[in-house]
Amino acid sequence: MNLNASASPAVRKPFHRFSRAVARAGLLAVAAGLMLAAPAHAVYPDKPVHLLLSFPPAGATDVLARAIGQKMSEALGQSVIVENRPGAGGNIGLIAAARAPADGYTIYLGAVTNAAIAAAAYSAQPAHLLRDFVPVAGVGTVPHMLVVPLSTPAQNVGELVSYLKAAPGKYNFASQGPGTLSHLESELFKIKTGVDVLHVPYKGSSQALPDLIAGSSAMMFDSIPASMPHVKAGKLKVLAVASGKRVSSLPDVPTVQEAGVPGFEANNLFGFVVPKGTPAPAIKALSAAIQSAVSAPGMREAMEAQGVELKFTPAQEFGRMMEQEFGTWGKVVETAKVKLD
């Protein structure tokens, strides 16, 4: 029976009003149900952030990551979990970070200079710091210094160059391993000075330094925290720092450039990146948290003790610095004919 057709107009109007009221009530109920079923839009971050790095625990880079991560967690209101993924010349950590979801919850502390060397020295690159990531912020440099054994008569860089040139091919230089910055710094030194010294690679500073102290090699570019205890103990001499500017913890030690080698500069750049496609609001929040961490009271002094020259660099400028490092060290690798495949 069609009530609407048979009823009088006076009856139909209240009926229509009743139907519309029921329909509106039903729509409101459905909307309320959907609102309850769908979570509210989350404000970033609403869960812990994972900070990946390609270095083992206890080194200067790990100390830097944990110090900044702790302060970042305070600024973000969420835990920052540091994950060490060493191995394969840094590629294990780099690949893990590149394959992580681009949601702002994975951030990678990149050793830019090492990554630039690896990109040029290895043919196959499963992940690439410039191609697969976007910059968030630079946090500083971790310069190396040029050390020699006490048996080397040179007291400065000029005397070292003369000493090595007097006997081409006779002397060795030690490094932390093939393709490391420690290796390529000496290759750059050879290019800029014309000395002829042979490469003896080791597996890290801990294995190289005893032989260097014994005089098996004539020189080595090494990290400040690793070599400085031996310098203070009178077992090694430091002739210069590799960076473009003097290091705060060694104000009286000249740079290699100041010591007479024009064009030599190895700053060992570090900074944070995220997988490409990470939302801009997350990048902005992470950058602000990093800046807050870098400027925290006592942070600069604590990092200087680890050989780190702390400096916050915004994303755009840090991106340009990354590109420059890749260009510079790509040329050094090519000139020195270093291939690691």
Cα–Cα distance measured from residue 114 to residue 269, given in angstroms and rounded to the nearest whole number: 9
In degrees rounded to 5, what are phi and psi of residue 41?
Answer: -60, 120
Q: How many CA atoms lie within 13 A of 44 on its CB side?
A: 17
Partners of 237 in the beta sheet? 148
Burial of 235 (0-12, 13-18, 19+ CB in 10 A): middle
- pLDDT tens digits, residue range 239-257? 999 999 999 999 999 999 9
Burial of 106 (0-12, 13-18, 19+ CB in 10 A): buried
18: pLDDT strictly greater than 80 = no
Burial of 312 (0-12, 13-18, 19+ CB in 10 A): middle
pTM of the predicted protein model: 0.82
Mark out the alpha helices in the chain (DSSP H runs): 3-6, 9-37, 60-76, 91-98, 112-121, 157-165, 181-193, 205-214, 224-232, 280-294, 299-304, 315-336
For residues 1 and 60, which has the higher predicted lDDT (pLDDT)? 60
Cα–Cα distance measured from residue 51 to residue 139, given in angstroms and rounded to the nearest whole number: 14
27: pLDDT strictly greater than 50 = no
What is the predicted pLDDT for the residue at 20? 52
What is the predicted pLDDT for the residue at 31? 44
| Helix or strand (DSSP H, E) at 273 | strand 269-275
340: pLDDT strictly greater than 70 = yes
Dihedral sign of CA atoms 59, 64, 69, 71 in order: positive
Strand 172-175 versus strand 198-201 pairing type: parallel
Per DSSP, the three-state class of 108 is strand
- pLDDT tens digits, residue range 201-224? 998 898 999 999 999 999 999 999
What is the predicted pLDDT for the residue at 123? 84
- pLDDT tens digits, residue range 313-333? 999 999 999 999 999 999 999
Cα–Cα distance measured from residue 55 to residue 323, given in angstroms and rounded to the nearest whole number: 22
Domains by residue range for the chain, with CATH: 49-142+268-336 (3.40.190.150), 144-241 (3.40.190.10)
